[in-house]
Chain A
Amino acid sequence: MYRETQILEESPLKEAADGFLIINVGPQHPATHGVLHLVITLNGETIIKVEPHLGFIHRSIEKMCESLSYRQFIYVTSRMDYLSAHINNHACALCVEQGLQVEIPDRAKVIRVLMDELTRIASHELWWGAMAMDLGAFTPFFHAFRERETINDIMEETCGARLTMNYMVPGGVMADIHPNFQKRVKDFIQLYKTKVHEYDEMVTGNVIFQSRMKNVGYLSAEDAISYGCTGPVARGSGVICDIRRLYPYEVYDKLEFEEITEPGGDAFARYMVRIREMNQSIRIIEQLIDNIPEGEFQAKTKAVLKLPRGEFYSRVETARGELGVYIVSEGATTPYRIKFRSPGFSNLSALDHMVRGGKIGDLIAAMGTLDLVIPDIDR
């Protein structure tokens, strides 16, 4: 009844089955960061083929959203990529606002961008800690979580929750920021700046880490575009694809920050892209935290929302890549069809291409730099 026996009978893997070893990584595995089942075909220690099996956390979110109202479905999506929960909600709110053609106040825009960037830092911190732990370094995990816990406490005070924040609504944000918000964020920035050198000393400059990550998991720019990779995975191969720069939303067109690309294409390049993105997020927060405009935090919208007939697409840059929300509406109070174009789905399809010919240790290193969150892939 296991999937492997079915593969041997049905798929092209049958020809490769002589003498090759087929083993499982996952679904319960500390390095897969979620329930991902990889079936690896090995010739000795060299990987011939990697085949992901998905669906362990499929909750049919797209079908569920067809019976939820436009105000309700946003909160299901924070469970999709739970490390960038604010950004997921932001994408859905933008799509609904595109349909309603409502203009949101400036204060709400700035609060949304601040929450997004804090979430991006928190997500990259967890990625960094977990990535180092996959390769055997256990200490950076605690350092990463020290910063992440500070951000979670800030979120808890303003939004009421630490992981799935449910803070964005179509029209703005749900409640105004807490009076302590600005002070706590400024304290966090000071803390981060004193501690960021630890990341370079402990992990980035480490000889063992560099030799495990350089020239591993190479992905060229054409392949990255062909496989639909976005986010740091594509930027690590030199592709310019930051949605915040190419198709700015909210206040990103008025901010000064760099889009980080690295020409390397290997795992170390993707790692450096994310480390530098954290610094750019700090830069964005510094520009905004003292300049939050006064005003309303939510535009006036009806209690029951109805989008007009038509199809709407909005996209944002999550910590993992481009999240697209595609709503097909028939004029009812519930969407007719929703499709979430999740970044992890396309990034995962490049994994097989990246690690062929490598060893299992290379697979773990390359998968760590893809930064997969499996609920995002399975939806």
Chain B
Amino acid sequence: MTNEELKIKISELIPSASYEPDGPNGWVNVNIDPSEWRYLSQQLRHQEQLQFDFLFCLTCVDWKSHLTMVYHFRSTSFRQELVVRAKLDRTNPEIHSASDIWRTAEFHEREVYEMFGVNFINHPDLRLLILPDGWEGKFPMRKDFEDPVNMIKL
């Protein structure tokens, strides 16, 4: 499926999706609202012509006014890539979990939770993964994280 066909297909599912220009790799970039993520994730995985079964990167970027979740998908049968972005409100970031559809999301979402503070609804086991005990609520990867003892600003 070409990039244009993919964009048409996704716009059929999510009429309010917007697109950024194709990235340097030629991948389609989609922006959606977090409330539509649940429906889109099920369609991306299970629809016949899409079948994006490989979630290879799940991360979050802290733009100072909001957070953005970024998901990178690949379809192993069609060799197609897709990048989905969802803007989250900074004061109460939450989005539906994708861990029942792609099992790899379980660990990745735990990491985003502990580093950025995004609450994943219906995640089976949301707690700290890499940070030690006592770091709940600190969200170190956010841009406004201050630690005068350990952080040196170059």
Contacts and interface: CB of A to CB of B under 8 A. Distances in A.
Interface residues of B, number: 35
A349 B104 contact: yes
Interface in B109-154: 124-125, 127-133, 140-141, 153-154
B76 A226 contact: no
Nearest to A346: B104
B103 interface: yes
B57 interface: yes
B59 A326 contact: yes
Interface string A282-313: 00000000000000000000000000001111
B102 A226 contact: yes
Contacts of B125: 11-12
Nearest to B141: A63
B53 interface: yes
Contacts of A98: 24-25
B53 to A, nearest CB: 5
A263 B132 CA distance: 39
A228 B131 contact: no
Interface in A220-258: 222-223, 225-228, 230, 239-241, 246
Which DSSP category, helix, strand, loop or mixed, fits chain A's interface?
mixed
B84 interface: no
Contacts of A311: 23
Interface stretch (A54-62, A128-136, A268-276): A54-62
Interface in B21-66: 23-25, 27, 53-57, 59, 61-62
Interface in A5-51: 6, 10-12
A240 B76 CA distance: 8
Given A12-B125, A223-B103, A322-B56, A3 B76 contact: no
Contact of B106 (A1, A310, A349): A349
Given A3-B133, A312-B24, A346-B107, A60 B140 contact: yes
A163 to B, nearest CB: 24
Chain A interface size, as a band, is 35 or more
Interface stretch (A74-82, A115-123, A198-206, A337-345): A337-345
Interface in A71-100: 98-99
B154 A228 contact: no
A1 B132 CA distance: 11
Contacts of A346: 104, 107
A223 B102 CA distance: 9
Contact of A11 (B25, B61, B127): B127
A194 B53 CA distance: 43
Contacts of A222: 53
Interface in A318-352: 322, 324, 326, 328, 336-337, 339, 341, 345-346, 348-350
Contacts of B154: 67-68
A67 B55 CA distance: 29
Interface string B64-85: 0000001010001001000000
Given A67-B154, A223-B103, A349-B104, A55 B61 contact: no
Given A322-B56, A324-B56, A341-B56, A226 B24 contact: no
Contact of A228 (B104, B129, B133): B104
A362 interface: no
A371 interface: no
Contact of A58 (B79, B103, B131): B131
Interface of A: 1, 3, 6, 10-12, 54-55, 58, 60, 62-63, 67-68, 98-99, 222-223, 225-228, 230, 239-241, 246, 310-313, 322, 324, 326, 328, 336-337, 339, 341, 345-346, 348-350, 353, 378-379
14 contacts: A10-B127, A55-B129, A55-B132, A58-B131, A222-B53, A226-B104, A228-B104, A313-B23, A313-B72, A322-B56, A349-B103, A349-B107, A350-B103, A379-B130
